[in-house]
Amino acid sequence: MTLTTPPVAAKKPHVETRHGVTITDDYAWLRDPGYPEVGDAEILAHLEAENAWFEERMKAQHDRVDSLFKEMRARIKEADESVPQKDGDYLYWIAFEEGAEYKKWWRRPVGAKDDGSADQLILDEVALAEGKDYFRLGALSVSHDGRLLAWSVDDNGSERFTARIKNLETGEILPDEIPGTLSSLVWVAGDRGIVYSLANEQWRTDNARLHWLGASTSSDLELYHEDDDGFRVGASLSANEQWLIIGTADNETSEVRLVPASDPLAHPVLVRAREKGVEYDVDLHEDTVFVHTNDTHENFRLATAHLSHPGDWTTLIEGSDEFYLTGFALFRDFYAVEGRLAGLDQIEVRYYGDPARVEPIAFPEASYSAGLGDNPEWAVSTLRLAYESMITPATVYDYSVAARSLTVLKVQEIPSGYDASLYATERLEVTARDGAKVPVSIMYRRDRKPGGPLYLYAYGAYGIGLSPDFSASMLSLVDRGFAYAIAHIRGGDELGRAWYKAGKLMQRTNTFNDFVDVASDLAARGYTARGRIAATGGSAGGELMGAVINSDPGLWGVVVAHVPFVDVVNSMVDPTLPLTPGEWPEWGNPVEDKAAFEYMLSYSPYDRVSAQAYPPLLVTAGLNDPRVTYWEPAKWVAKLRELKTDGNELLLKTNMGAGHGGKSGRFESLKETAEEFAFILWQLSATG
């Protein structure tokens, strides 16, 4: 049967009054009261109807989707493996087989022949995922003696993982099974126990627990419990593997405790009591605690303290307006510092006892993304690094600390062919309406005609900066005449912590204005034209999409919003939702703060939908998504269908068996990218 009209959601007025403001929400019924179980027949029928409409409208694009998918897949080296890395007595690596959606995890003894005879398959994701619509590996951890493997799996997208343990010597799967985890798996007490965190009913990790191998999970011990609903708990080992580090934090405050890894039941040592707005993380070298903290400067400093008095911090590296200190890594003979200078990644090698000796690692391009890779061992003389740019495929380096030289170990292979000389990349600076200078990373073919279509991406939240990374998939648009740009808008931390703060709480609308101003500027410079811009973002970036189509609908030629956080007010007044209490430091608390409520209401995309023309819009959702619940995009689309005055396409696709990240598997997820690009090409009437 051919569908001729989109589904129309029933209107069932739901009225709430807060801070003297009455809000009517006609589509509140789309939230199943039994969530996280979704069993309401009317709700499921509406979501399926939207999916059927998506399929109907995209039917004519099937050939284009298939073509895009095939060329994207042709850029992936199907039979591929990572560079082996030494950890203890073994070299570890991952490998994909031809046609496989998932990877296999391998190892072989150090010194063994590289002929396959000594290779050991320690975990087979392909086998674990067989017969499942969704599969995602969570944590994976080999015991210190190399005998046991702990791993966890989510098979429905709900991000509640089940942990299992395997004897690598015999291949036996041990009876130990820990459901509901949302954490790393940390081996302690001579590999006799594992520390993990459970997700509670609200999908919050408010605990660190100890499981003794062979014991019932009902007897697992709680090492730490967090009473603040906004904080999340996590555990890790120090770099020298002598200390269990238990951290608890929300989006702006943190607190750390130390426990001997050999004796996890020992009384924990509090590093420093939490202080609102102060973030810190730690590691240890001998009896010195290294502390990365923003207590004296928003761009963080690196401090040290003696283990006997871990809260007495002495500055090792001062905080700086210019250098944003994002992290550090300790090794036996030296340590590495990561940060950003003018928005570009920096890595420095430094030395214990010689603070004046600083060795920056130089990289070959003016705009790039670089960082420490997998460096599991304590005593090393080389560092594994990851590097790429918008026109340079992902590259793995070994950096010799003594020689201060880089050795290329692997460059991402593009089997169908890739010639970097055909492409150009630039880093621009756009002046926003309030005078802020917004960085923009852009790439395009050198033979591209000016004024063509533009794919513009941004996120702008949580202090998550976007790097100018290489995207093989994006070549499918760039080779069709698109420019590809990343707007490094406020709310991210590309230019330091102040850049992040300028896009959160009561300055949130700076993020939206920056995106609009970048798009307008790129059109004015001739990189594109108004109405030729494909804007896209996901999650908080989906909120961005909702805000800018309300404020400047005529600027965009097409918009894609993945799992968009658009029902901001209703979500942020509901503390029973998984993320809400921990999100108040990011967005504001509209329950207690009238000003925060009114400000949020002024930009909340769902609440600001009006009777006006909107650009063509593709929206995605995940039924099992615990981060942005499925009803947010569903309600938003329903309201847009009701009020918009145009005849442009509006499609909603809900993954009925997946969560926040969409479909799993390297090719299944690629199909969704092909659908997105086909929709964009269709709506912009571009060739291909």
Residues with catalytic function: 539, 625, 660
Question: Rounded distance, CA 389 to CA 474, Å?
Answer: 13
- Report the C-alpha gap between 57 and 47 in whole angstroms: 15
Residue 547 CA to residue 570 CA, distance in Å, equals 16
Backbone φ/ψ region at 142: left (φ over 0), alpha (ψ -120 to 50), beta = beta
Largest CA distance in the chain: 76
Residues 561/458, Cβ–Cβ less than 8 Å:
no
d(Cα 688, Cα 681) in Å, to the nearest integer? 7
Q: Are 193 and 209 in contact (CB under 8 A)?
A: no
Scanning the structure block, which residue is given the tokens 């939230």? 31
Which two structure tokens, joined as six digits, stand for 665? 């598997």
Binning the chain into helix, strand and coil, the percentages to the nearest 5 are 20, 35, 45
Which amino acid is located at 124 in the chain? D
Please report, in angstroms and rounded to a whole number, the separation of the first and last CA atoms in the chain. Answer: 29
Q: What is the DSSP letter of 541?
A: H
Using omega within 30 degrees of 0 as the cis cutoff, is the peptide bond preceding 36 cis?
Answer: yes
Give residue for tokens 């298939």.
66
As a whole number of Å, the CA-based R_g of the chain is 25
Q: CA–CA separation, 569 vs 593, rounded Å?
A: 12
| Token pair listed for 136 | 């995602």
DSSP code at position 169: T
163 in Cβ contact with 180 (< 8 Å):
no
- Rounded distance between C-alpha atoms, residue 657 and residue 624, angstroms: 7
Main-chain phi, psi angles of 199, to 5 degrees: -85, 130
Any idea what the Cα angle at residue 568 is, between residues 204 and 652, rounded to 5°?
95
- Whether residue 316 contacts residue 309, with contact meaning beta carbons closer than 8 Å, is answered with no
Strand partners, 652: 619
Residue 527 CA from chain centroid, whole number: 29
Instruction: Count other C-beta atoms under 10 Å from residue 347's C-beta.
Output: 21
Tell me how crowded residue 608 is: count the other CB atoms within 10 A of its CB.
Answer: 16
Do 158 and 38 touch, CB atoms closer than 8 A? no
Query: At a CB cut-off of 8 Å and minimum separation 6, what does 459 contact?
Result: 466, 491, 492, 537, 538, 539, 540, 541, 544
- For residue 688 the two structure tokens come to 């291909």
- Cα–Cα distance, 314 to 322 (Å, whole number): 21
Q: Angle at which helices 668-683 and 62-74 pack, to 10 degrees? A: 130
| 8-state DSSP, 569 | H
The answer to whether 502 and 513 are in contact (CB under 8 A) is: no
- Those residues whose C-beta lies under 8 Å from the C-beta of residue 286, and which sit 6 or more positions away, are none
Distance of alpha carbon 375 from alpha carbon 336, whole angstroms: 11
